Amino acid sequence: MFFFYLSSKDVSLANSMIPLGSCTMKLNPTTAMVPITWPEFTNIHPFQPREQVKGYEKLTKEISQYIATVTGLPGISLQPHSGSAGEYTGLRVIRQYLLEKDPNNKRKVCLIPVSAHGTNPASSAMCGFKVVPVKCLEDGSLDLVDLKAKAEKHAGELACSMITYPSTYGIFEAGIKEAIEIVHNNGGLVYMDGANMNAQVGLTSPGDLGADVVHLNLHKTFAICHAGGGPGIGPIAVNEKLTPYLPGHEITGLLHSETTGKEIMSVSSTAYGNAPLLTISYAYMKMMGEKGLPYSSIIAILNANYMKSKLLGHYPILFLKDDNSHCAHEFIIDLREFEKKGVKAIDVSKRLQDYGFHSPTLAFPVPGTLMVEPTESENLKELDRFCDAMISIRKEIDWFIEGDERGQVLPNAPHTLHDLLLNGDKYSEEYKKIAAFPMKDQQLNAEFWKQWPTVTRIDDTYGDLHLICTCPSVEEVANSQDN
């Protein structure tokens, strides 16, 4: 009952698209989700004897083959529980390889573009590497001149570089192959952050591009649900020379690879990490097949470009050379010019709730912006619905700037039913209508189902900095037991 109550307050993919850029919130097909409820998968202990886990042996072997095909890299470890754990594992593998080549290894420098996800420098530091940032150009692409200069300057101590492709700015880096070559020419290896694989699968691959290691986020690109931060799987794929160093397992060993004696220690307490969840990505890959997977990448890129083109006349879109340039599978709406006039990106983000939408990614990778990623899951109608909401909000931004009372819907958003119904004199009738049903056709449209926000605007920063315990005190529990 409590869980049902919580879930009824939530906006899910059944209510609206969840256009979180970089997060790839695609549909989790029911058929793919069902097997994790089967006892054949759930009632097996991770340390069960080998001869009793033939099914898991087949599953892990087959999905490893699929991952190798998709990434163009042959060596797979399914252990890491997340993308960031994949980064950590991949970098440890690189470090082990370098140590094996030279026990006095001095290669410790890791070049990371400033556009990188925060987990990149964090994982790098955890593995004992020294992070050296690389600049990006104004158009968002990697500054190859700076990359070359830094790679050459640190040539004697260069361990690797971490590159995200397409980049976290939502663009296909034209100089990706050259960037990889620069790092290789200076003795470093290339770690590709594969969180954006949704724009690559079946069209190109990290292996084709020349990367040495990549992690996938099966909980992004391969349909495992990941609301609330998990559970995830962040397998890594590596090239031949790194394969011997992939993590082993101290207790059970691995099911289908012989020990090489060079493995790094396990990065998960079990040999195959979150193994039961593999069934989701396995089913997804099987159902999509070799034709469906590249097609979904194409539709994901097409959807993003359709929305980008539709919104371009209303908002500035970042990192496009001109109005005709394409984005990858996501794009960034720049709201900074409105911030100067008093409308913050967070206001737009909260206001989208009144329209029944989940907000796009706020303030990453650029503060004051929203990053939109529709994925291939959304149909044309939903793409249009979201664009229409954003276009309608653009009009509200003008109201706010002009000092029109209706513009207050932005700083006041989101509006709850309580707020609008029970604060009778706080708002005018017209304000209430616009606040609750901003789009003209929403009030009368039987198809439109609004998921009402249940909490009005809160002070996010205050909440983040002050722990507020809502559980009863010991005395309260004791008193209630007395009665």
The one among 234, 235, 247, 438 contacting ligand PLP by CB under 6 A: 234
Binding to ligand PLP (CB under 6 A) within 155-174 occurs at 164, 168
Q: How far is the CB of 149 from ligand PLP (least distance, A)?
A: 25
Nearer to ligand PLP among residue 301 and residue 436 (C-beta)? 301
Nearer to ligand PLP among residue 77 and residue 82 (C-beta)? 82
Give the pairing of strands 158-164 and 189-193: parallel
Nearer to ligand PLP among residue 91 and residue 393 (C-beta)? 91
The one among 28, 77, 84, 141 contacting ligand PLP by CB under 6 A: 84
Q: Which residue is nearest to ligand PLP (CB)?
A: 83
Rounded Cα distance between 323 and 173, Å, is 18
Binding to ligand PLP (CB under 6 A) within 6-45 occurs at 22
Nearer to ligand PLP among residue 226 and residue 415 (C-beta)? 226
Rounded Cα distance between 478 and 483, Å, is 9
The one among 173, 193, 330, 396 contacting ligand PLP by CB under 6 A: 193
Q: How far is the CB of 83 from ligand PLP (least distance, A)?
A: 2
Task: Tell me if 217 contacts ligand PLP by CB under 6 A.
Answer: yes
Structure tokens belonging to residue 364:
């990453």
Q: How far is the CB of 64 from ligand PLP (least distance, A)?
A: 19
The answer to whether residues 327 and 170 touch, using CB atoms and an 8 Å cutoff, is yes
Task: Note if the bond before 231 is cis, omega within 30 degrees.
Answer: yes
Give the pairing of strands 189-193 and 213-215: parallel
Pick the stretch among 78-86, 142-150, 316-324, 340-348 that binds ligand PLP (CB under 6 A).
78-86
Q: How far is the CB of 168 from ligand PLP (least distance, A)?
A: 5
Task: Tell me if 117 contacts ligand PLP by CB under 6 A.
Answer: yes
State the burial class of residue 433 (Cβ atoms within 10 Å of its Cβ: 0-12, 13-18, 19+): middle
Task: Note if the bond before 365 is cis, omega within 30 degrees.
Answer: yes
Count residues near ligand PLP (CB under 6 A). Answer: 13
Q: How far is the CB of 456 from ligand PLP (least distance, A)?
A: 29
φ, ψ of residue 104 in degrees (nearest 5): -100, 30
In three-state secondary structure terms, 454 is: coil
Task: Tell me if 119 contacts ligand PLP by CB under 6 A.
Answer: yes
Nearer to ligand PLP among residue 267 and residue 389 (C-beta)? 267
What value, to the nearest 5°, has the Cα angle with vertex 409 and ends 407 and 415? 175
- Name the helix (H) or strand (E) containing 211: none
Q: Is the dihedral of CA 364, 200, 19, 405 positive or negative?
A: positive
Pick the stretch among 76-84, 263-271, 307-315, 339-347 that binds ligand PLP (CB under 6 A).
76-84
Give the pairing of strands 369-372 and 158-164: unpaired
Task: Note if the bond before 414 is cis, omega within 30 degrees.
Answer: yes
N-terminal to C-terminal alpha carbon distance within the chain: 24
Q: How far is the CB of 84 from ligand PLP (least distance, A)?
A: 3
Binding site for ligand PLP (CB under 6 A): 22, 82-84, 117, 119, 164, 168, 193, 195, 217, 232, 234
